[in-house]
Structure formats: C-alpha cells, structure tokens
Amino acid sequence: MNPVVPPVAPEREKLTKKAVTADHPTWCPACGDFAVLAAFYKILEKRQLPHENIVTLAGIGCSSRFPYFVNSHGAHFIHGRSVPLASAISLARPELHVFLFGGDGDGLSIGGNHLDHGARKNIRMTYVIMDNFVYGLTKKQTSPTSPIGYKSKTDPTGAIDQPVNPIKKLIAAGATFVARTHAAQVNHMIQMIERAMDHDGFSVIECLSECIEFFPGAFDAGNPRKGGEFKTIEEKKWDNTPEDEERHDVTDEIAAYRLANLAFPGVFGVFYEIDRPTKNALEQKWIESSRAKLNGAPDLEILQTTFNRMK
Amino acid sequence: MSSSQVLPESAPPAAAGRADLRPEHIRDAVIRLAGNSQDGIQTAGAFLARLAGRSAQDVMTYMTIPSTISGGPSIFQVRIGSGEVLSAGDEADFLVAFYQHSYDDHIDFLREGGVLLYDSDHVQPNLDDKRFVYVGVPITGLTVEALGGTAKDKGKNIFVLGLLANIFHLNAEKLKELIRERFGGKDQSVVNTALTAFQAGYAYPVGNVLTTLYEFEPSPRASGRAQVTMDGNQALAYGLIAAGVRYGAGYPITPWSSIMEILRSEFPKYGGLFVQAEDELASVSLALGFSYSGWLAVTGSAGPGISLKAEAIGWASMAEIPLIIVNVQRGGPSTGLPTNVEQSDLHQAVFGGHGDSPRVVLAPATVEDCFYIALEAARIARKYSTPVFILSDSSLATRIEAFDEPDLSELMQDPKPNLSPRPAGTKPYPLDAITQHAPPGTRMLDSKYPVVTGLEHDEMGHPTASPRMHAAMTAKRRTKYQRLAGELPLPQVHGDPSGETLMVGWGSTFGPILEAVTRAREQGESVSSIHLRHLHPLPDGLEPVFERFRRIVVVEMNDHGLYGYGQLAALLRARFCNPKIESFTKTDGLTFRVREIVEGVLK
C-alpha cells in the first residue's frame, strides 16, 4: 500500500472579512440579524483565531441560518437542541472556539430545558440568542418572549401568556455570563460578544434583533435613532468613589435580578458574570485523575486488566 | 440433570455429609433461586456463574427483577453445563425457595424428580406431592445463628451458596476467593461475615436428608482460552471500548442504565467522556456533537427513549453523521413491562425515522455477541458515516454468561479524529463517494469550510430545494446501504442446508432456537435454523437459502400484528415476497422455552 501523503498546508493568510464570509444571507432586507452577522465578521477579523478552529453552530429558525453565512466549520442542527450539540463539541475538542446562534423560539421554548442545563453545567461556549419576540420562519406565531397583547396568527386577539424573561431564566439556571444587547447598537454588540468569548464558561447574550416583517418597531424603545433610549448598565469600577456605590456589581445575583426586572426596554450590558469551574475543567480533572491511577497504561492494557478481573 | 455413568476418580472433597455418599456425575444442571429482590439472590447466582466460568464450564443465567423500587419476588436461574449451554433451561433441576410465595410460584417449574431446597423457617411445601425430592433447611435460623441477630435477613444468599457448593461439590476455595474479591473493597468485617455465612452453609450436613450429591463432569472445552464471565450490558460496554468508542451520552432508563454507568466510569480512563444528559433529546444531540467533532459516539436507551431520540437520528441520516444507538429492548409500548423482555422495537429501529432515512440495524445473539456486535457497529458507522442501531434486549442485558476471552490485542481499535488538512475541492457530500466528514479543527486548504446540515443540500452542503438534487441525494443516502448489504457475510444454516422447515431468528432467541433444532431433529423432524445479526440492510444471498426449504418460520418475541406476521417476518415478506414465510411469535414478556419453540413451529 502506498503511504498517504498529507497535502502540505500553505502558510496562513490573514483572516479578512472576505475569508469568513460564505453564502449571502437569506434574511429579509433590513432584518436585525444582518447587523449581528456583521458584528461577528468584525470580531473574527479582529481576533484572528485559527480559521479551522472556529465552529459556528445553530438550531432551527431564521437566525439559526447563521452557519451558512459564516465560512467556518459549522453545523445546522435540529430545532432546540443546539446547546447539547455545542456542549459535546466544546467538551471533546477544547481547542475549538464554539459559537452558537439561535432565536427565542429555538433557545427559550423548544430548547428551554437544554438552556437551563447548559447553564447549570457551565459548559464553555458563546451563545447569542437573537430575540425578535416572534416566530419569523414560520410566519408570525406567538413566541415565548412575545409581550402580552401581541397579535399573531396564533393569538389573533393578542398574546395572553406571560413571556419568558431570558435574563432571569439564565441567572436562575446558573449561567456564569449573562448579557443583553441590541442589534441596532453594533459597537455594544461587539463588546458584549467579545466579553462573552473571553469568559471561561457558559456565556449567553440576549440580542434584541428586530423582525422587520412580523414585528416591526418592536425594539424602537431601546433605539435612540427611533426615539427610544439605549440605557446601558454602569458596572462597578471598585474605585472607592461615591458614584461607584450606585454602579452594578456583576457578581451580585440579586442586583442582576433587579436590573432584569426593569420595565421594557430595560437596560443593556452585562447583568451577571462570575467564575465557577466549567464542566470542561471538572471533567478534564476527572479524566486526569482516572488516568493518573493507571500510571499511563495504554488502552489495550487497561481493557485487558478489566477482562482479567472477570475471569 | 443429565447424569452419566462416569465414576469419580477420587473421593469428593471433605465437605460435611455422609461419608458413604458418592457424587453422581452430571453434565448440566438448572438451578433456580427464588426469593425477593433484596435477598441478594442475584449475588449468589452470579457467584455460581463466575465459578462456572472459571472452571471452564459453560454457563447461562436468567433473572427477573421486579420493577418496584425495593422488594418483590425475584428469581435468578443458573444453568451450568459441561457442554455448550444455549438457553437458560425449560425446567429447573433444583429449586431453592426462600418464601412460601417462591414455592407456590415456581414449584411447577421444577422437573419431576427434581430437588426442592426450601427454607423450613418460611416454607411449608405440600409433601404429599411425590414428584419431587424435598430438602428442608432452616436457612433463616441458621444464618442468624451463624452471623448473630443483627444480620437479620442478610447473609441467607451466601449461606445458600455454601449449601449448593456442598451439594454440587463446587470448589469451595475458588468460591471463597470470589467472595473475597467481590466484598474485598468494603470493610473487612463484610468479607468475614460473608465467609462465615458461606462456611455455615457449606458445613450443613445436607447429606443427612439428600441421598445424592452431584459433581460436574470436567468440561471438554478445547479452545485453550480462558473464559470471562459477564452480563450482556457489560459485554456491550466493553465491546464499545474495544471498538475505540470514547465518547457518549445517555439518560437513565431500565434496562439500558448499566451500560451508561459503566461507560461513565470507564471512558475517562481512556481519555474520553460519557455525559449524563438532562433528557433523551439532549443525550442523542450530545452524542451527535461528539461524532461531528471526530469521535464516533454512542447513545442508548430502551424503546420509549429511542422514540424521543428519533428526530435527531433523522438529522444523522440527512447530515450523514456516524453514531451508535443502543436499544436494550423491553416490553412495550410506553412504560409497558420495563423489566421484561420483548423484541418489539425492530420496526422502530428500521422504520422509526421521518422521511426516507435508511439506517443500519444489528442485533447481538448472545452475551458474547454483545461484545462483537459493538465492534461491527463501530466499523459500519465509521465506514458508511451512518447511524447504526444495536438491538439488544432485557434478557441479554441482565443474564450472565461465560465465554472465551476475546483476543483484545487483535481486536482493539484506536481511531483518532482525522484532522489532516483536506485538499482543495473537498466536497462534504460527494455524489460519487461515501461521505467522510472533515471534523472541526481540520484545515481546508482551499479555505472553504463545510457546514453539516439537516436541510437538503448540494455536494458542497449548501441548502437546496432542487428537485433533481433531492432525488440524487436521497439515492446517495440509500445506495451506501445497498453497498453494505453486498459486503455482509451470509449467516450459516444450522442443521441440514435443505429440508422441511427453516427457522429464522434474530437477537436473543439464538440459543433457544438452536436447542429447539437439536430437540426437533432428535424427534426425527427435518428442521434447520438461520440467525440474522444484520437486520437492516439484510445480507445479500438469502433467497437461495430460503429456496431449499418448504417452510420458513420466523421465531420472535413480539406480536404477530394486524396481518399475522411478527416484525422480522413482515420485513422478510416485504423483502422477498415469499409466501412460504410464516411467523411464530409470543408476547408474554418472557424468554422462549425450547419446548415452546418446538411445539409452536411444528404445530
């Protein structure tokens, strides 16, 4: 048999916007998601991660089309289950940068349970929930974040169910980085995603991203260009000034809830950020202690020893 | 017990008993222990099985465990033989009854002339029934006497083990060694208590009431390999490890749970990881994530959990991701009979997907085969980038068998994710080749990175709704299984290659069917059998085999359904359009007795 000669890898080129751009998005013109994609391109250009180590993942929904528009390894999975899919990739391949994109239906309704457990287990990944308060891909049904009174095809007289508060849900479940941003605020969005990337743990950003087709104007109240107010969270600087007393301590869970309870459009920024060991680290520790007990025995020897005990 | 006239060459071991008793040599014995689930009869039975394995005897066990949380009637049956043991036995030669209900429920299972060993503190047998030999021993009282009152009911199982060791001339030293190994990890006092109970049972002068003691003939086994003794779930779990599977995820459900428990502890030793997920949906999704990341992964469950995984398995078909899915079948539908056996998930495995989503379905025949089927599943999953089902069942999962130790140095697989850079023009979904994905972390030399997808796609993985492309891709996803069918070995016919009746079996009915063939042939019937390990796709070349018989009777543990055919029978009739194919099924939640098969097939 001829030996297989692996092709020689050429020198790396700089990761330009062109290099990370793939298919043209299928979103409606003026959809908020374009801005999220543009922000992600900018971050990839800025960070210059090894191209092959970027993984873009999604479930199902308008925003979940994301992986097709990013030139990176990626998977377009099934509805609601992208967090466990991403978890496995993160756990098995620590060198990869796992980015997960999805919408409110995918993450907070059908995938709501997985969101809780991903948060509780603190699995390392960066998850952007592009929240538009409506099911867009299926053309205007009530979503888990639709405000009471919102008229959809499934609630023609107005939504009656209490919407999910994603920030409170995430904090309660144990997420270690929880932030909120607005697709019309590109710089803030970039800042939030970058901070999430740098956080060692389950980091989630709720990004209000307008559905121009089925819920136009939903987030105008948080957009100064539309007459609203984009109010950001002032984080503590720990500088012993009287002003600092008023600022938000991102490690204070109760304070984070209080901010999350503010009436719509609420505030934007980092609500909660703490250090807690990731499942990645804890499992790795277990793997290492299991292997240490075996003094580096090869796999064959380990299994043979097990079989010897069953003789 | 089949006895022979071989005389003992030496005196029996110096156990307490009448000196004038000479052991009768036997080839095979079925011992049924009947008590409650908390009595540890499984533990006692497992010791017998392990001892038989170490003594190169063949062994097969059978147990029922109630689905209640604690307590309830439970049995453990051990069949030990000096020849090949294929089934757990239709009748018991020896029944140990711990309670009155144990006696009431199981006395009919004792063969005429069989021995009832009962706890005379709890059981009052009908001594007027002269069919049986009665041996009453105050098991509870003597155990308490040996261990002290604090032992309460604990230790009776080990006391009985001692009794049986005496009656069957088992190697007491080896049994004590097994007891030390089993309890050695605990407090030394636990080992001492167990050994005291064992010694008390072993020393009981059972020879005063039982006129015959027994001894197994030396086994004619010739393989020269040592035997290992384990249950089917263990064999399957260690088979996955030998197959190089290092990652997986699951959710607890009977009777699958013990596989995930083993893998959770074992994978880290090999640098891998098994995740207990929040639900079945997450567990299959995690497993697919592991597989996508380059490590062929396993998930598993029983029927109800497989239903929950079904959508994600459809994604595995479309995205062409390798995956092993273990289904340890139990009685269904719904919660059904969670601790009983049935083979009623075959159609779920073969047809349980949405859309056209062919997949591979395999079924192990024996506990030993649980080990080898895992290797076969991994080989196929990797080569064809496909989900592969392994249909085990509750009887294989829980029963213990001894089998020749596998040659691990020959079998052990060690595949790592293939991250070698891929040349320019690499297509994730080529129409003219079988998909082999580049895992994330792989450099694509033309800088075109692939997206694996559940949407219909072109060769580059781009979503498309083109009618021509959907037809071409559907065919691509189908033809790989047709190619696989061509490479599968044709199973051997057991018995004559032609004749009146060919029994067709799959899964755990292998042993009883084989024994039924032997028994029917002894009765002068023209009967053969064939056993299918590959159920989907079926191996090519079965038609000429079927041609040579007048009747084809498919024997399986499921319902014959609305149209009169069990699940494999229906599949074979659809595949071969052969009106000779008949069906013999049952749905009592119990394994087949040999007699049932002989009578059912030859009726």
Band of residue B70 on the pLDDT scale cut at 50, 70, 90: low
Interface of A with B in 55-114 (CB under 8 A): 55-56, 67-68, 71-78, 80-89, 91-93, 95-96, 113-114
Q: Does residue A129 share a domain with residue A242? A: yes
Residue A53 touches chain B, beta carbons under 8 Å: yes
**Average pLDDT value for residue range B404-417:** 96
Asked if A6 and B420 touch (Cβ cutoff 8 Å), the reply is yes
| pLDDT tens sequence across B301-314 | 999 999 999 999 99
**Residue A287 C-alpha, separation from nearest chain B C-alpha, in angstroms:** 4
pTM score of the predicted model: 0.93
**Residue A146 C-alpha, separation from nearest chain B C-alpha, in angstroms:** 26
- State both tokens at A223: 């957009």
Asked if A162 and A141 touch (Cβ cutoff 8 Å), the reply is no
| pLDDT tens sequence across B493-502 | 999 999 999 9
**Residue B293 C-alpha, separation from nearest chain A C-alpha, in angstroms:** 6
- Write the burial class of residue B98 (CB in 10 Å: 0-12 exposed, 13-18 middle, 19+ buried): buried
Would residue A218 count as lying in a domain?
yes
**Interatomic CA distance for residues B519 and B92, integer angstroms:** 18
Tracing tokens 């209640």 back to the chain, one arrives at B68
Max Cα distance, chain A (Å): 78
Residue A306 touches chain B, beta carbons under 8 Å: yes
**Interatomic CA distance for residues A66 and A22, integer angstroms:** 10
Band of residue B320 on the pLDDT scale cut at 50, 70, 90: very high
What does the pLDDT read at residue B226? 87
What does the pLDDT read at residue A8? 58
Residue B238 touches chain A, beta carbons under 8 Å: yes
Residue A208 touches chain B, beta carbons under 8 Å: no
Question: Which position has the higher pLDDT, B125 or B54?
Answer: B125
Q: Does residue A135 share a domain with residue A25? A: yes
State yes or no: pLDDT of B238 exceeds 90: yes
- State both tokens at B358: 């062919």
**Interatomic CA distance for residues A167 and B276, integer angstroms:** 26
Residues 6+ apart with CB under 8 A from B384: B322, B360, B434, B480, B481, B483, B484
What does the pLDDT read at residue B221? 63
Band of residue B7 on the pLDDT scale cut at 50, 70, 90: very low
**Interatomic CA distance for residues B599 and A233, integer angstroms:** 80
What does the pLDDT read at residue B21? 59
| pLDDT tens sequence across B188-236 | 888 999 999 999 999 999 888 787 888 888 776 656 788 999 999 999 9
**Residue B425 C-alpha, separation from nearest chain A C-alpha, in angstroms:** 13
Domains of chain B: 23-222 (3.40.920.10), 229-408 (3.40.50.970), 418-487 (no CATH), 493-602 (3.40.50.920)
What does the pLDDT read at residue B496? 97
Chain B residue numbers touching A302 (CB-CB < 8 A):
269-270
Chain A residue numbers touching B249 (CB-CB < 8 A):
84, 88
H or E, element range at B25: strand B23-26
Q: Does residue A283 share a domain with residue A142? A: no
Would residue A6 count as lying in a domain?
no
Q: Does residue A307 share a domain with residue A205? A: no
**Interatomic CA distance for residues A54 and A233, integer angstroms:** 30
| pLDDT tens sequence across B239-297 | 999 999 999 999 999 999 999 999 999 999 999 999 999 999 999 999 999 999 999 99
Count Cβ–Cβ pairs < 8 Å, chain A vs chain B.
Answer: 192
| pLDDT tens sequence across A154-204 | 999 999 999 999 999 999 999 999 999 999 999 999 999 999 999 999 999
| pLDDT tens sequence across B500-544 | 999 999 999 999 999 999 999 999 999 999 999 999 999 999 999
H or E, element range at B392: strand B387-393
Chain A residue numbers touching B425 (CB-CB < 8 A):
none
**Residue of chain A whose alpha carbon sits nearest to that of B297:** A88
Q: Can you say whether the dihedral through the CA atoms of B310, B312, B313, B314 is positive or negative?
A: positive
**Residue A218 C-alpha, separation from nearest chain B C-alpha, in angstroms:** 30
Q: Does residue A306 share a domain with residue A168? A: no
**Interatomic CA distance for residues A135 and B145, integer angstroms:** 73
Residue A116 touches chain B, beta carbons under 8 Å: yes
Counting the structural domains of chain A, the total is 2
Domain around A291 = 279-311
Strand partners, B247: B273, B297
ipTM: 0.96
Q: Does residue A266 share a domain with residue A291? A: no
Can you state the angle between helices A33-47 and A186-198, rounded to 10 degrees?
50
Tracing tokens 């520790």 back to the chain, one arrives at A285
3-state secondary structure B115-171: EEEEECCCCCCCCCCCCCEEEEECHHHHHHHHHCHHHCCCCHHHHHHHHHHHHCCCC
Residue B26 touches chain A, beta carbons under 8 Å: no
Residue B319 touches chain A, beta carbons under 8 Å: yes
Would residue A305 count as lying in a domain?
yes
Would residue A307 count as lying in a domain?
yes
Chain A residue numbers touching B238 (CB-CB < 8 A):
303, 306-307
CA angle B59, B61, B62 (to 5 degrees): 160
- State both tokens at B53: 């394995």
Across the interface, do B229 and A311 touch by the CB < 8 Å criterion?
yes
**Among the residues of B394-523, which ranges form H helices?**
394-398, 408-411, 467-487, 510-522
Residue B294 touches chain A, beta carbons under 8 Å: yes
CATH number of A207's domain: 3.40.50.970
**Interatomic CA distance for residues A254 and A243, integer angstroms:** 20
Residues 6+ apart with CB under 8 A from A176: A119, A122, A199, A201, A202, A203, A272, A273, A274, A275, A276
**Average pLDDT value for residue range A20-35:** 96
Across the interface, do A86 and B281 touch by the CB < 8 Å criterion?
no
Residue B464 to residues A21, A56, A173, B460: CA-CA distances in angstroms? 19, 20, 38, 10
Q: Does residue A77 share a domain with residue A188? A: yes
**Residue B153 C-alpha, separation from nearest chain A C-alpha, in angstroms:** 28
**Residue of chain B whose alpha carbon sits nearest to that of A304:** B408
Interface test with A, best of B285, B370, B409, B410 (most A CBs within 10 A): B285
Q: Does residue A103 share a domain with residue A50? A: yes
- Max mean pLDDT range (A111-115, B19-23, B180-184): A111-115
**Residue A75 C-alpha, separation from nearest chain B C-alpha, in angstroms:** 5
Considering only CB atoms, B269 lies closest to which of A22, A75, A294, namely A294
3-state secondary structure B474-510: HHHHHHHHHHHHHHCCCCCEECCCCEEEEEEEEHHHH
Tracing tokens 């209000």 back to the chain, one arrives at A208
**Interatomic CA distance for residues B387 and B333, integer angstroms:** 23
Considering only CB atoms, B289 lies closest to which of A22, A68, A85, namely A85
Q: Does residue A185 share a domain with residue A106? A: yes
Would residue A49 count as lying in a domain?
yes
Q: Does residue A39 share a domain with residue A166? A: yes
- Write the burial class of residue B5 (CB in 10 Å: 0-12 exposed, 13-18 middle, 19+ buried): exposed
**Interatomic CA distance for residues B259 and B468, integer angstroms:** 43
**Residue B59 C-alpha, separation from nearest chain A C-alpha, in angstroms:** 13
What does the pLDDT read at residue A1? 39
Residue B371 touches chain A, beta carbons under 8 Å: no
What does the pLDDT read at residue B85? 84
Chain B residue numbers touching A311 (CB-CB < 8 A):
53-54, 226-229, 405
Residue B227 touches chain A, beta carbons under 8 Å: yes
**Interatomic CA distance for residues B553 and B581, integer angstroms:** 6
By three-state DSSP, how is residue A33 classified? helix
What does the pLDDT read at residue A3? 45
Across the interface, do B287 and A311 touch by the CB < 8 Å criterion?
no
Chain A residue numbers touching B276 (CB-CB < 8 A):
none
Would residue A4 count as lying in a domain?
no
Tracing tokens 């273990």 back to the chain, one arrives at B326
Q: Does residue A101 share a domain with residue A35? A: yes
Residue A213 to residues A32, A102, A265: CA-CA distances in angstroms? 11, 18, 20
Residues 6+ apart with CB under 8 A from B186: none
**Interatomic CA distance for residues B511 and B57, integer angstroms:** 17
**Average pLDDT value for residue range A83-98:** 98
**Residue A63 C-alpha, separation from nearest chain B C-alpha, in angstroms:** 15
| DSSP 8-state symbol, A105 | I
**Average pLDDT value for residue range B47-57:** 84
Asked if B210 and B167 touch (Cβ cutoff 8 Å), the reply is yes
**Residue of chain B whose alpha carbon sits nearest to that of A72:** B449
What does the pLDDT read at residue B43? 87
Would residue A12 count as lying in a domain?
no
CA angle A224, A226, A232 (to 5 degrees): 25
**Residue of chain A whose alpha carbon sits nearest to that of B444:** A52
Residue B452 touches chain A, beta carbons under 8 Å: yes
**Residue of chain B whose alpha carbon sits nearest to that of A117:** B278
Strand partners, B3: B26
| pLDDT tens sequence across B112-163 | 999 999 999 999 999 999 999 999 999 999 999 998 877 666 899 999 999 9
Would residue A157 count as lying in a domain?
yes
Q: Does residue A98 share a domain with residue A57? A: yes
**Residue of chain B whose alpha carbon sits nearest to that of A13:** B447
- The bridge status of strand A73-76 relative to strand B451-453 is parallel
Nearest CA to B452 out of A56, A81, A44, A107 is that of A56
Looking at this protein, which amino acid is placed at residue B398?
T
Band of residue A2 on the pLDDT scale cut at 50, 70, 90: very low
State what percent of residues in chain B have pLDDT above 70.
94
Rg (CA), chain B: 26
Considering only CB atoms, A74 lies closest to which of B241, B290, B451, namely B451
Across the interface, do B288 and A290 touch by the CB < 8 Å criterion?
no
Asked if B227 and B37 touch (Cβ cutoff 8 Å), the reply is no
